[in-house]
Structure 1
Amino acid sequence: MAHLLGGESLHLSFPTKTVFGGVTVGLNEGDRVGIVGRNGDGKSSLLALLAGRLTPDGGRVTVRGGVRIGVLDQSDTLDPSLTVGTAVVGDRAEHEWAGDPKVRDVVAGLVGDLPWDKSVADLSGGQRRRVALAALLAGDDDVLMLDEPTNHLDVEAVTWLARHLQRRWSANAGGLLVVTHDRWFLDEVCTATWEVHDGIVEPFEGGYAAYVLQRVERDRMAAATEAKRQNLMRKELAWLRRGAPARTSKPKFRIEAANQLIEDVPPPRNSVELSQMATARLGKDVVDIEDVSVSYGDHQVLHGVTWRIAPGERTGILGVNGAGKSTLLGLVTGEVTATTGRVKRGKTIRVATLTQELAELADIADQRVTDVIARYRTSYVAGGKEMTPGQLLERLGFTAVQLQTPVKDLSGGQRRRLQLLLILLDEPNVLVLDEPSNDLDTDMLAAMEDLLDTWPGTLLVVSHDRYLLERVTDQQYAVLDGHLRHVPGGVDEYLRLRERQKATGGAVTTGSPTEATGSGAGAAGTGLDGAELRAAKKELGALERKIAKITGQIEALDTKMAEHDPADYGGLTALGEEKHAREAEVAEVEERWMALAEAVEG
């Protein structure tokens, strides 16, 4: 594969820190590299060095002649005087850009809902982000460097972006470097992972799942000081291996090695024990929302919603911006009043919300972290073990030095972790998380998920991070057409419903909206008799053969795409859509397989 660009013996230092001490990396045609690591360890600096936007203190960056590089920064770099259309396609005439299938795809996928003549200055931060990404993808760069491209994107837009990058180039053309904490996105798009840590860049084969496996192997052979990270990553690996077959059937994810590493790792959560503990703390009544509608003026946001929330329920809420997710959660917290219907709250519930704004830290901005936590409880029980607030902070990645730091001087990720800790120390029994993954790197997300695994309360999560949503919740619901609908197939089922909604231009809900009645709705039944068990095992075999057949079709399409003329974007798009249809088909079959497998094992 031809070399695109690279860095040789790169050194980079700031007054208080050496970021890189002799790093050598290279990007070849066909490489799709995800960059992970702790916040502050140099991920964005590495991109800036390779893009030529930052000069190294030592070493050199080489770029093959004629290679065009496109960069998406975390910061807003759009000219506010432009319109949406001009920012995306420049001065090209409409017939010119509209005749380009790639540009049409980008416009529809990212900015189709924005007025073409609207000024960039009048857009929200999230809308500006989408316009900047669309402007970059509408170009013809050989290398794309994306710094947190999924920020401000909803689940549908993140899925679109993954599909676009999968078919943007043929298999052995183009190069991608992406910094992101979105672990699902890393797995979908990347064929290699670079971990930035301790002044070095360590390469791994494959996406996030394969990276976790290799890192567990590395940590197992490391010194005892790595024990805490090792145990946490083994737990992460165990969850990945128990996920959908498609996630773990990729060739580079060595299944047998993974099974040996996690054979003694229990499931992430003991759902029965947590439910019993939650019932003891909450009683049987949490919040009952019965036939509730909510209107703001003439605009009705929710229509006849019924949701009976159970003790220990762990539910993820899906929906596009403006669908009514915040209104629904407001009914739970008491911040929103029903227009019609009834909301009944249990007498013992204590609701806490992890907000996006970090507003609750404003009053303690000048205080040191240790002084803040000293005012709370002296101990906290997690996973049956009693821990001090300081130990909890250490578990969430704080160092001894940071404990003496004023809150205002913490990074965004550190403030987010402190915010979560203060909420947990307040001992609520209903916890609402609103986009909890903001400002957190992949390690800290794993640490937060680990802590939430032992939290014995009712957990409601709104997030565009589908990996986190699937990891910490046991079921998902979607707000569609103002109704609350159970989606047993999770995010994939939700995306199919949204595609159907957009295709028909109308509602996807038929008949009465699904009534949400607590934890575990839609789970497979158990207790099969002899005949049913034999039939289920027979169907399992048939489903496995069908999965193998469709997987073979997907692999054949991958080969076709690799051999296809990269200049024929229309042909590549058609092949990509056919592949996406096969992937959707195999996902449906896998859902049925998983439901049957649970029933057989039960």
Structure 2
Amino acid sequence: MNLVNLESVSHSYGPKPLLSDVSLGIEAGDRIGVVGRNGGGKTTLISVIAGDLKPDSGRVTHNRGLQVATLSQGDDLDPESAVRDLVLGGRQEHEWAGDAGIREILANLLGDVDLNAPAGSLSGGERRRTALARLLIGEHDLIILDEPTNHLDIEAIDWLAGHLSGRRSALLVVTHDRWFLDAVSTRTWEVVDGSVERYEGGYAAYVLAKAERARVAAAAEARRQNLMRKEIAWLRRGPPARTSKPKFRIEAAQELIADEPPARESVELVKFAAARLGRTVYDLEDVTLHAGGPGRGPQVLDRATWQFGPGDRIGLIGVNGSGKSSLLRLLAGTVQPDSGRVVRGRTVRLAHLSQELGELDPARRVLESVEEVRKYVQVGKKEWTASQLLERLGFKGEAQWKVVGDLSGGERRRLQLLRLLMDDPNVLLLDEPTNDLDIETLNELEDLLDGWPGTLILVSHDRYFLERVADRVVALLGDGRLSMLPGGVDEYLARRSSGRALSARAASGSAPVPDESAAPAAGDGAVASGLSTKEERELRKELSRLERQLDRLSGREAKLHAAMADAASDYGRLASLDAELKEILAEKDTIESEWLELADRLGG
């Protein structure tokens, strides 16, 4: 059934045409992701489709009785109303509490929010999640979401993707989150130069299709095509699920990447980073840290010991409030640990991009603001001018002469990041660097970071960006430790899910942690998982054994990284150490798989 039709729709903002003679339709069951440059017309398109904006010309037709729900980038929450009333409306407690679907939405989006609090007391992120929860609780024919993943952590984004995929509503979503696009979309629309280009599949399919069209038409500008080829190469080497949905022929696109090297020359970058940094970057020794200062706020680290080495590219993940930003501030030296010691290498030249926009002179021009830091910088093997880098991050032509005070939040974010890179750091601490960046700019940033030699520690809710840029994933799981996760984000989500299952069982009293001194013999009873008490006790022992093995392997891994830094000028030795490191990582991966299998049995 056709839900919405656009016929020859055009709309302009001032002299700029955003939509030019666009005709398209949305059918029941469609799941469409919308991409394009910031300011290119994405929000205009969805506003026209929703009926919130009347186009300059053309016709928009809605199916009779169509129920449309829209999540815009702002909200209309009454500051005096309680969250409970805004989200649940007039539903009585017995009514919504008995609805498993509503309970699930509340638990995953508003689990840390006081439902009796007035909306005016909420943070920006809490308001966003409140508006999203209110929308999802309703039943709709068409759901339109504008940047729904803003203010959500990786775990919440994973839940939202699964939730939306399970709904019967048609879906139209604007997002820069490429992992989310692949997870929820079966079609992709690109808004470009006033038109809407349509592709089958999610983001991975869209990238492959664009490359195929560019190859056949031979019209793509050389540098952009090279970026696309690198993107495809990474996608094709990634998890198979990313490319499982394309319905078009991809053999021709494969020809583009037949001889494409890996996105990064990891050994070469480690060697270069070691030459710039030496052996020590950051060593955490028996560190205890609280988010609010010594003894105040949630505990982030509890007598933790860890080493960040030269050339490490680490993605740091954890739930919102787990202390990721606090850990970055600890490394940056802006906060001090409760106890323990943070050893910082003498050659460390740090750049820290926080979530707050840094001080920028509002009277300066964009180009002047960058050139006052440095006019040229070496990234990998190439020297770039300030103007060239500005162009790569979206400041083209006259945009480089805009006054800083007139920039949007996203533009200021890009400018701040570029000023940091121009300062030629050898350690980058990036806290949510993708905020307000469109996909094309993200591609450019990823390509820049591919050739950047140094230690990178990244916090991001953008799963695609994190997996693309980081080589390893480290998590704050709430136990006061830094945990290496060879299985990456998938392993993190599995651990979190297993932990929640075990906590729920313990809270219900259905599966207490066994006491070996008082445990009954096999057959004396079974826990909720279907295991006997004895079987569960044995599984927990095996889990502990595997965790000890992982700790030992992590120690060997840290020593190998240090040895690789020492052998930076000895290519033969470096290759041997790299081979040994790969063996250790493979062994860790095997043990992690065993751990996850056992944890799954316990959490069944």
TM-score (norm 2): 0.83
CA displacement 1:517-537 (0-9 Å, x = unmatched): 65998xx99579xxx9xxx9x
Q: Which residue of 2 aligns with 1:597?
A: none
Q: Which residue of 2 aligns with 1:599?
A: none
SS across alignment from 1:327? helix
| CA positional deviation for 1:340 | 1.8
Structure 2 contact 367–386 (Cα < 8 Å) conserved: no
Structure 2 contact 186–245 (Cα < 8 Å) conserved: no
Q: Which residue of 1 aligns with 2:207?
A: 212
Q: Which residue of 2 aligns with 1:232?
A: 227
Q: Which residue of 1 aligns with 2:66?
A: 67
Q: How far apart are the structure 2 equivalents of 1:394 and 1:222?
A: 25
Q: Which residue of 2 aligns with 1:495?
A: 493
Q: Which moved more, 1:113-122 or 1:132-141?
A: 113-122
Unpaired segments of 5 or more residues in structure 2?
507-512, 514-539, 562-576
Structure 1 contact 249–255 (Cα < 8 Å) conserved: no
CA displacement 1:220-244 (0-9 Å, x = unmatched): 3446562222211111111100101
CA displacement 1:553-577 (0-9 Å, x = unmatched): xxxxxxxxxxxxxxxxxxxxxxxxx
| CA positional deviation for 1:324 | 1.7
SS across alignment from 2:221? helix
Aligned length: 526
Q: 1:430 aligns with which of 401, 408, 427?
A: 427
CA displacement 1:465-519 (0-9 Å, x = unmatched): 1111000000000011221101110111111111122222389996779567659
Query: Mapping of 1:156-555 within 5 angstroms?
Result: 156-169=155-168, 174-222=169-217, 226-252=221-247, 254-295=249-290, 296-297=294-295, 299=297, 300-361=299-360, 364-481=361-478, 482-505=480-503, 514=551, 518=558, 526=579
| CA positional deviation for 1:389 | 1.2
Structure 1 contact 154–320 (Cα < 8 Å) conserved: yes
Q: How far apart are the structure 2 equivalents of 1:36 and 1:168?
A: 22
Residue 132 and residue 527 in structure 1: after superposition, are their counterparts in 2 closer, same or farther (change >3 A)? closer
Structure 2 contact 201–246 (Cα < 8 Å) conserved: no
Query: Which amino acid is the alignment partner of residue 183 of structure 2?
Result: E
Residue 225 and residue 256 in structure 1: after superposition, are their counterparts in 2 closer, same or farther (change >3 A)? closer
SS across alignment from 2:260? coil
Query: Which amino acid is the alignment partner of residue 286 of structure 1?
Result: V
Query: Which amino acid is the alignment partner of residue 132 of structure 1?
Result: A
Q: How far apart are the structure 1 equivalents of 2:128 and 2:356?
A: 18
Query: Which amino acid is the alignment partner of residue 238 of structure 1?
Result: A
Q: How far apart are the structure 2 equivalents of 1:120 and 1:152?
A: 16
| CA positional deviation for 1:305 | 1.3
Structure 2 contact 10–58 (Cα < 8 Å) conserved: yes
TM-score (norm 1): 0.83
Query: Which amino acid is the alignment partner of residue 448 of structure 2?
Result: L
SS across alignment from 1:8? strand
| CA positional deviation for 1:315 | 0.1
Residue 495 and residue 467 in structure 1: after superposition, are their counterparts in 2 closer, same or farther (change >3 A)? same
| CA positional deviation for 1:73 | 0.5
Q: How far apart are the structure 2 equivalents of 1:257 and 1:83?
A: 56
| CA positional deviation for 1:211 | 0.2
Residue 264 and residue 188 in structure 1: after superposition, are their counterparts in 2 closer, same or farther (change >3 A)? same
Q: How far apart are the structure 2 equivalents of 1:503 and 1:106?
A: 17
Query: Which amino acid is the alignment partner of residue 317 of structure 1?
Result: L
Residue 16 and residue 520 in structure 1: after superposition, are their counterparts in 2 closer, same or farther (change >3 A)? farther
Q: How far apart are the structure 1 equivalents of 2:560 and 2:24?
A: 47
SS across alignment from 2:149? coil
Q: How far apart are the structure 2 equivalents of 1:446 and 1:518?
A: 31
Residue 108 and residue 520 in structure 1: after superposition, are their counterparts in 2 closer, same or farther (change >3 A)? farther
Q: How far apart are the structure 2 equivalents of 1:92 and 1:519?
A: 59
Q: How far apart are the structure 2 equivalents of 1:312 and 1:254?
A: 38
| CA positional deviation for 1:331 | 2.2
Q: How far apart are the structure 2 equivalents of 1:287 and 1:157?
A: 31
Residue 525 and residue 312 in structure 1: after superposition, are their counterparts in 2 closer, same or farther (change >3 A)? closer
Q: Which moved more, 1:486-495 or 1:226-235?
A: 226-235
Structure 2 contact 377–424 (Cα < 8 Å) conserved: no
Structure 1 contact 315–519 (Cα < 8 Å) conserved: no
SS across alignment from 1:359? coil
Q: Which residue of 1 aligns with 2:104?
A: 105
CA displacement 1:217-274 (0-9 Å, x = unmatched): 2223446562222211111111100101222233537553442121122111001111
Query: Which amino acid is the alignment partner of residue 99 of structure 1?
Result: G
Q: How far apart are the structure 1 equivalents of 2:380 and 2:338?
A: 41
Q: Which residue of 1 aligns with 2:570?
A: none
Q: How far apart are the structure 1 equivalents of 2:150 and 2:65?
A: 30
Residue 318 and residue 527 in structure 1: after superposition, are their counterparts in 2 closer, same or farther (change >3 A)? closer
* 1:18 aligned onto 2:17: yes
Query: Which amino acid is the alignment partner of residue 287 of structure 1?
Result: Y
Structure 1 contact 309–519 (Cα < 8 Å) conserved: no
Query: Identity rate of aligned residues, in percent?
Result: 54
| CA positional deviation for 1:360 | 3.0
| CA positional deviation for 1:101 | 3.0
| CA positional deviation for 1:463 | 0.6
Q: How far apart are the structure 1 equivalents of 2:455 and 2:100?
A: 46
CA displacement 1:427-473 (0-9 Å, x = unmatched): 11100110011000111111111111111110000011111100000
Residue 424 and residue 527 in structure 1: after superposition, are their counterparts in 2 closer, same or farther (change >3 A)? closer
Residue 520 and residue 223 in structure 1: after superposition, are their counterparts in 2 closer, same or farther (change >3 A)? farther
Q: How far apart are the structure 2 equivalents of 1:273 and 1:360?
A: 35
